[in-house]
Chains A and B, each alone.
Chain A
Amino acid sequence: MTSTDASMAPAPPLLEVDTTYGGIYAGTSFEFSQDVADHFNGAARRAGHVLPGEYVPFEAGEYFSIACPMAASYPREEFVAAYGQLRARVDGELEFVLADHPRLFSNSTEDWRRIRAVPTYIRKSEVPEGFFGAVHRVELFQGDAPLFGPVERFFHTATSGCVFSHIEDAPGKLVVEVGGNLDALARTGMVVFFTDPVFGEPLGATQVNEDRSIVPLPYTLLGKDHVGDLMLFNEGLVRGVSARESRVVLELYFAQKGTGLAAALYSGHTRDTAFRTDATVL
């Protein structure tokens, strides 16, 4: 874009945060493998219509997220421009320009050209020692305009919350095992899934209890996450998860066999074995 183009470009819209599920999520912990970094980076290279400022490459490592769900979807061009103005301030002193960090834009289920949310992934090494395992005050700004907060959010260590241990290959489904401290899962009953389009959209979910009883759970498709015009995964929410036992086992059903990306996450830590690029529906 030339300087003349830039001066003629309309100002990005002021974004509005969706508060349906409490607004900004922050502090979920992730272990990204080299395979995951290669998977997303490779997709970004192959994708068409990747906008300037849309993609920052991933590296393998430990990350935490700051996720911004929006009250409405925005055209990609407008949203990416507005995203470039977002700053997260933590405890009034740590400041993150979100566009400096890897992120995955979550596009509308009806129209991939509109964006409805964005989690930003920030390396854990960018905060002081002792930061994790504690509550912090989070505010979000677009330029100088406050968008959300201050709110208190817990920033997880690898062991302070739910531990999304691993996702298992299985016939017609994927199986996730969750352990660790399940208090937050007991309160919210929610788990987010990223699943590759190669499997098709999930058909439904169940929870399998230790006594082998099976409870159907509602699955809601939230978004179809893209880089450029290339779809990365279906993003969906399973609600009604019960966390009364020492571990939770959830099954997500699919119509199509295949191998691709699958991840499970929420308040806690997602191990690299629960954020896989080779998950296989048999």
Chain B
Amino acid sequence: MTDPALQPLVAAARSEARLVGVGLTDARSMRDVIWAAFREEVAPWADLDYGQEVRGDAVARRLTEPGAPPPDVLVVANPAHLAAAGLLEAHEQPYGDRYPAGWVEANGAWAPLYVQPVVVVYNGHHVPVPPSRWEHMGDPGRAGKLVFEEPWAMLATGPALAELSAVLGTAAWEELLRGMAGGDPLIVADNERSVLEVATGSRHTGLSNWNVAVRVRAASPVRHVFLDPTPCIPGFAALPAGGSSPNLARLFLAWLGSPGGQRAYAATGRIPAMPGIDAPTEMSRVLPSGVEPVFGAVDWLRDPEPWVERYRATFKAPRAPLRRGKMGGF
């Protein structure tokens, strides 16, 4: 039986049979797990056309391409730019009050879906003792052997460092950034590449979101460690203006934010953003004892630009295109 909180949206959505989505979540998880649960619980008439896209600028292009309708739903790391540009519409969030206040947009322009703890990944062959404090990531001994995803893209590394600024204190945080930047880090396009570089041994230590760090095979030399506190960065859903199936999109987004949708996200191995969801990946079950999460300590979400500028000024952007971990055809 459909969640009663979603019923008001069902009737209008019935005349729309196809949803186009794009975003951070990998296509297999979205199609085979999340959408399959949505069809079973809510909308058996509907089909999904979904493609993964990590880069925020590529998503923005999809929303502004002349002659092509925008996708109906988005999963993005930083929706504030899109909302500020008038590219998003508010959508119903019947369970919005169950989420941490800092992740919910008051006007309903975006909604948190899942949480990515940012962890340190290291190569067990090369690093016998992993870092135990964030300050260690800037140690001179890691020079030339450090890798992380581009902070100024505000996907995971950027927001994580921003959150840490509030808990480390200004001096320690500045020192951390200087140390990381001074060690000639390899800056890559995504967390998958960060883990890949550590797996080879070309880089010994890196940052990654936990969701990616745990995908390695059992005998991989890649290990990960949660540092205290662990920045927890959400991924967000949003409703683009002008999509072809706006009512189906509203229903899908409302369901994603409901306990049913959150359980489906948890079934992909991700941490659901709604606290208290009974799933093995509920945040309190993932973080080790003694490690506290940090989120919402600073407002990198609504106003990312000062952070972007700071990271661009601190870290040297490579001239060559950034190396990617996710595979794409060419």
A interacts with B: yes
Task: Please list the residues of chain A having a beta carbon within 8 angstroms of any beta carbon in chain B.
Answer: 34, 60, 62, 124, 132-133, 157-160, 163, 165-171, 177, 180, 208, 210, 212, 247, 249, 272-273, 276, 278-280, 282
A177 / chain B contacts, CB cutoff of 8 Å? 199, 217
Which of B126, B219, B320 sits near A169, CB closer than 8 Å?
A: B126
- In the A-B complex, list the 9 residue pairs whose CB atoms are closest, starting with the nearest: A169-B201, A157-B329, A166-B200, A159-B329, A159-B327, A273-B200, A273-B196, A166-B199, A278-B202
Contact in complex: A208, B330 (CB < 8 Å) = no
Contact in complex: B200, A167 (CB < 8 Å) = yes
Contact in complex: A282, B125 (CB < 8 Å) = yes
Contact in complex: B217, A247 (CB < 8 Å) = yes
Q: How large is the interface on B (under 10, 10 to 19, 20 to 34, 35 or more residues)?
A: 20 to 34
A249 / chain B contacts, CB cutoff of 8 Å? 217, 219
Q: How far is the CB of A171 from chain B (nearest CB, A)?
A: 7
B202 / chain A contacts, CB cutoff of 8 Å? 273, 276, 278
A247 / chain B contacts, CB cutoff of 8 Å? 217
Most A CB atoms within 10 A — which of B200, B201, B220, B329?
Answer: B200
Most A CB atoms within 10 A — which of B219, B323, B328, B330?
Answer: B330
Asked whether B163 is an interface residue with its Cβ less than 8 Å from the other chain, the reply is: no
Given the known interface contacts A273-B197, A276-B202, the answer about A171 and B125 at a Cβ–Cβ threshold of 8 Å is yes
Which of A158, A165, A168, A280 sits near B329, CB closer than 8 Å?
A: A158
Contact in complex: A133, B199 (CB < 8 Å) = no
Given the known interface contacts A157-B329, A157-B330, A249-B219, the answer about A276 and B125 at a Cβ–Cβ threshold of 8 Å is no
The answer for the CA separation of A90 and B202 in the assembled complex, in Å, is 38
A132 / chain B contacts, CB cutoff of 8 Å? 329-330
A180 / chain B contacts, CB cutoff of 8 Å? 327
The answer for the CA separation of A26 and B14 in the assembled complex, in Å, is 50
Within B174-212, which residues are at the interface with A (CB < 8 Å)?
Answer: 196-197, 199-202
22 A-B residue pairs with Cβ-Cβ distance under 8 Å, sorted by A, are A60-B320, A62-B330, A132-B330, A133-B329, A157-B330, A159-B328, A159-B329, A163-B327, A165-B196, A166-B196, A167-B200, A168-B201, A170-B125, A170-B221, A208-B219, A210-B217, A212-B219, A247-B217, A249-B219, A273-B200, A276-B202, A279-B200
Q: How far is the CB of A138 from chain B (nearest CB, A)?
A: 21
The answer for the CA separation of A177 and B219 in the assembled complex, in Å, is 11
Q: How far is the CB of A159 from chain B (nearest CB, A)?
A: 5
Against A, the Cβ 8 Å flags (1 = close, 0 = not) of B110-130 are 000000000000010110000
Interface of B is mostly: loop
By beta carbon, the residue of chain A nearest B204 is A169
Which of B196, B201, B328, B330 sits near A124, CB closer than 8 Å?
A: B330
The answer for the CA separation of A234 and B199 in the assembled complex, in Å, is 24
Q: How far is the CB of A174 from chain B (nearest CB, A)?
A: 10
B330 / chain A contacts, CB cutoff of 8 Å? 62, 124, 132, 157-158
Q: How far is the CB of A75 from chain B (nearest CB, A)?
A: 38
Q: How far is the CB of B196 from chain A (nearest CB, A)?
A: 5
A278 / chain B contacts, CB cutoff of 8 Å? 201-202
The answer for the CA separation of A12 and B2 in the assembled complex, in Å, is 78
A210 / chain B contacts, CB cutoff of 8 Å? 217-218
B323 / chain A contacts, CB cutoff of 8 Å? 272
B196 / chain A contacts, CB cutoff of 8 Å? 165-166, 273
Contact in complex: A158, B328 (CB < 8 Å) = yes
The answer for the CA separation of A169 and B222 in the assembled complex, in Å, is 11
The answer for the CA separation of A280 and B196 in the assembled complex, in Å, is 15
Contact in complex: A169, B125 (CB < 8 Å) = yes
B123 / chain A contacts, CB cutoff of 8 Å? 169
A168 / chain B contacts, CB cutoff of 8 Å? 125, 199-201, 220-221
The answer for the CA separation of A273 and B194 in the assembled complex, in Å, is 12
By beta carbon, the residue of chain A nearest B126 is A169
The answer for the CA separation of A60 and B318 in the assembled complex, in Å, is 15
B221 / chain A contacts, CB cutoff of 8 Å? 168-170
Q: How far is the CB of A31 from chain B (nearest CB, A)?
A: 9
